[in-house]
Chains A and B, each alone.
Chain A
Amino acid sequence: MSTVSETISRGRSARRVRIDGWRWGGRAFLVFMLLYTALPMIWMLLTSIKSGFAAMQFPPQWWPDQPTLDSYQKLLDPQNSVGQDFLRFFWNSLIVSTATTILSVIVAVPAAYAFSRFTFPGRNFLFFAVLLRNMFPAVIFLVPLFILMRAIGLVNTHGSLVLTYLTFGLPLAIWLLKGFYDNIPVQLEQAARIDGATRFQAFVLIVMPLSAPGIIATAIYSFIGAWNEYIYAYTFLSKNEQLTLPVGIQRFFSENTTDFPGLMAASFMMSVPVVVLFLLLQRYFVRALTEGAVKH
């Protein structure tokens, strides 16, 4: 009797030691990853509130001696030429990203619903064709798309970017949303149709509100993709007043090589909309990513 319980307890403690080893290893790894991602951002923020001189000092000032918001004031001042540029780039990025997001939701929602609910000829082929684009690196399409845009006269317009970002963002948006609609029981629509709704009303009144987390996730995804995109914006746009933020900041960098605080302040402000958007909607986003893990 005693030998049995001894072996059990020994076996249990031995196992516990091994689990703890893994657990601490995992924690160390997570801490490393956290620092790896957070430190550059923290450094960016710290540099942005230094003076130009302090930013160039070596050894570096870990905490600025005289923190200043000068760089931010300069960037947000419409009277200042740097501020004018920055605000225009910001506005351009906002327009392009918002247009991409809205169009992407408008197209992806009905497309995903159709893929989820209807059987039609070529359904599977189309569904995988939608993904085909994502099998190639985006740069491959740079030259062909540029030629295409020139042919239809869209070079140097924001429309060219919106169109391009849609072709990149839509496939994943459709996939994401289709998974969502697959998880909404078809009986809900059937019930609505029997209760007096048309097929379209059943979709708009019952299914759409239920898929709101998915739609929000899709929207965030499209917005971030468009907001951060650099290569196509760099290729398709050449006029200064049309540039989006990623390209604009890069230009800013080459023109003001020494103004690191200004550059860092601009980078920080560029990440603000994405972070704000994410914080506001993150509970939907997280729900979207976990939905379907459990059958309701």
Chain B
Amino acid sequence: MTLSMLYGEPRVITVGAQVLGEALDRQAVPRREVDWRPPLPGASAALARVLADPRRESANATAVGRILSARPMLTGVRPAREALGLGAGEFFHAGPPITWERASGPMRGALVGAMLFEGLAAAPEEAEDLLASGAGITLDSCHHHRTVGPMAGVVSPSMWMLEVSDAEHGGTAYCSLNEGLGKVLRYGAYGPEVIGRLRWMGEVLGPALAAALERCGPLDLRTLIAQALQMGDELHNRNRAATSLMVREIAPAVVEAAPDHAAEVLRFINGNDHFFLNAGMAAAKVSADAARGVPGSSLVVAMARNGTDFGIQVSGLGDRWFTGPAGVPDGLYLGGYGPHDANPDIGDSTITETVGLGGFAMAAAPAIVRFVGGEVADAVTATTSMYEITMAEHPAYQIPGLGFRGTPAGIDVALVARTGLLPVVNTGIAGRIAGTGQVGAGLVSPPAEAFTAALDALGDP
């Protein structure tokens, strides 16, 4: 056999004792030193088993390859009742499954609002009693139904959903329509203005968008996201460019399809820089779902929070959730709110980080670095550190400021355990008390135990 290292100049990667690296320096041998640290406590044995799984390397290549090749298209807008088969009293919610008893303030608030919106209760107190009794009520995780929802992520039968299809792998995913900022259902608010807005979205916005999409045909979200990244969005906390691009694409069709409502529909979308977030989330969901179910793969296919637990799902581990307590984000607060008003982390929007957007693409969005409480360099650091725990770089989603390097995509549970680096998550902050709404936005770290628990399960023969 020909051994390539015997020919040509030696160039060495050193990992471990510095004295051995220094010996190479004295010989003027070019080298790169690894800044090695011990793995997460208690992870060593499981790591050895997982890394020695003969399926791992090709399983991961297959799984992450599906995320990278997914071609999400916005194909329709439909009521949840019709798209997801939701019946009366059935609700989906963000994050891993949770009961009313364990639900946090904003999750309870959003469920109350959904009860009022569906006409299942006349007043908040009645809704709470019904939800607490559980009579005629079914709660389940959005993720179990090809769906994602931001913050509380509550989906009820009458809500209209964005439908995103993967033109490459054939999957479909759904996400609700974005309500805007301030007092909104997803942050746990359920006042009359919240319910009124939901009704308008069901009666006007949803049908208008559906008709417009039918006219202009499916919207290529892969291309749109790629462009938005180059215009300063990271697609989680900043969606200004993506929203603008989306409006540009659909505005003529909205005018043609719904001339009576076009102005109010476009005004509503234009007034909400986050309108695209939900479409981006469905795009991320359909891409991540394509990577599910590859035996032996240690790829994370979902990260989601319900306001109480932070959970992850892994390609090689079916639909099992691995959870830890949701942390309180560190960030900036609106008006007079402060950290004591903040609810623990909540929402399915971490599906954006799961496919390499959001916090992973921070370097693309220097305009929002203040959420990190820092400089543009911090955004670059956030993104570059995520290359350490991801399997690939996205071929289409690129970051101009990093020389058009692809975003770090495809979190590897094993790499998280080895490096101790946890995914960087950008997020909104919900008020702790039901009905408060949004109180801020910032960064949050997932609980390490979710990753070590998944690693243990992967290593379990």
Q: Do A and B bind each other?
A: no
